[in-house]
Amino acid sequence: MSAPLLSVRGLKTWLRTPAGIVRAVDGVDFDLHAGRTLGIVGESGSGKSVLARSLMGLNPLSIEVRAGGHALYDGRDLRSLDEANMRRLRGRDFAMVFQDPMTSLNPVMTIGEQIAQPLRLHMGMPRKMAHERAVDLLDSVGLPAPNERARQYPHELSGGQRQRVMIALALSCDPRVLIADEPTTALDVTVQRQILELLQHAQQERRMALVLITHDLGVVADMADEIAVMYAGRFVERGPAAALLAQPRMRYTEALLRCAPTLETPTRTILPSIPGRPPALTAPPQGCHFAARCRYADEVCSRPPALAGDPHAFACWHPATGGPAHG
């Protein structure tokens, strides 16, 4: 395989809050190649969205404590770039589909203006050409009457239509890396499938690298080449999607899969849940972050397990299938 498009090593993003310093992302490693999809899964509050915003340089500088690590893209470390250089990359090389398009789109600009803006900024298109391209992009993401939609404002569209606009906006400058943060949240099942198929088609057509952030294991099972399971600011398991889903090793991954419904799950079934709560990231435990919720935990779990193994890596002293523990 060719060299990775994006190589992340030891990435840390700590946030300053009234409760103290939150270790939202606390040492994350991964490689992302052109045309490949990395699915990042985990509970709410695990650090997935902060990781995405860290790669895009979108965390507010007033609260972000940059504690270390590197994110190498095309020979440059994204973490060392100033805001002016990051702005040149955002939209052109890197793009993001946000979880809530209603709060991400500008309410006082028409849809067409919002899509045309990066085309004029990054591609140097004249106003008329940028508008025509915006209409073409709206048509390409399946919005009916794209000329009319281009003249409308975000509040005039449905949730699914706004998400399609976000995808058109993200794709406008043909980015090499697309980050989709919970792109189907609050959409009905039929619209969810349409949005995911749209992302897949766009990726295949452009050979983009895709980071898909979700709490839905079914989504990553369908779309991801590799899955990273995130818990309390860290990746606790990472590997090829088929292998990880068929044979999870880390006990947290095993518990997540046990809680997920399947096609065979009877309706009105009460699904199992993981007891307890994730640790407070202002003062995370020294050892395994999942130990307090794990029925297999013992004294050895007070020591931090290392994420080890290739290509299927996991951080667990008592792995699910009885194989050797890593640490």
316, part of any domain: yes
217, part of any domain: no
Contact assessment for residue 196 and residue 37, using Cβ atoms and an 8 Å cutoff: no
Residue-level pLDDT at 323: 45
Tell me the per-residue pLDDT of 206-252, one tens digit each, with 9 for 90 and over.
Answer: 999 999 999 888 889 989 999 999 999 999 999 999 999 999 999 99
Residue-level pLDDT at 191: 87
Tell me the per-residue pLDDT of 35-62, one tens digit each, with 9 for 90 and over.
Answer: 999 999 999 899 999 999 999 999 888 8
pTM score above 0.75 = yes
Residue-level pLDDT at 262: 61
Band of the pLDDT at 102, cuts 50, 70, 90?
A: confident
- 182-186 mean pLDDT: 84
Tell me the per-residue pLDDT of 128-179, one tens digit each, with 9 for 90 and over.
Answer: 999 999 999 999 999 999 999 999 999 999 989 999 999 999 999 999 999 9
Band of the pLDDT at 267, cuts 50, 70, 90?
A: low
271, part of any domain: yes
Band of the pLDDT at 260, cuts 50, 70, 90?
A: confident
Residue-level pLDDT at 250: 96
Residue of higher predicted confidence among 217 and 318: 318
Band of the pLDDT at 324, cuts 50, 70, 90?
A: very low
Residue-level pLDDT at 7: 96
Domain total for the chain?
1
104, part of any domain: no
98, part of any domain: no
Residue-level pLDDT at 270: 63
3-state secondary structure the chain: CCCCCEEEEEEEEEEEECCEEEEEEEEEEEEECCCCEEEEECCCCCCHHHHHHHHHCCCCCCCEEEEEEEEEECCEEHHHCCHHHHHHHECCCEEEECCCHHHHCCCCCCHHHHHHHHHHHHHCCCHHHHHHHHHHHHHHCCCCCHHHHHCCCHHHCCHHHHHHHHHHHHHCCCCCEEEEECCCCCCCHHHHHHHHHHHHHHHHHHCCEEEEEECCHHHHHHHCCEEEEEECCEEEEEEEHHHHHHCCCCHHHHHHHHHCCCCCCCCCCCCCCCCCCCCCCCCCCCCCCCHHHCCCCCHHHHCCCCCECCCCEECCCCCCCCCCCCC
Q: Distance between CA 26 and CA 11 in Å, rounded?
A: 7
Please say if the pLDDT value at position 266 is more than 90: no
295, part of any domain: yes
Residue-level pLDDT at 111: 97
Band of the pLDDT at 327, cuts 50, 70, 90?
A: very low
31, part of any domain: no
Q: What is the mean pLDDT of the chain?
A: 90
- Rounded alpha-carbon distances, angstroms, from residue 203 to 209, 210, 212, 227: 7, 7, 12, 17
179, part of any domain: no
- 248-275 mean pLDDT: 77
Band of the pLDDT at 268, cuts 50, 70, 90?
A: low
Residue-level pLDDT at 185: 79
In which domain, by residue range, is 299 found?
A: 229-326
Please say if the pLDDT value at position 264 is more than 70: no
Please say if the pLDDT value at position 305 is more than 80: yes
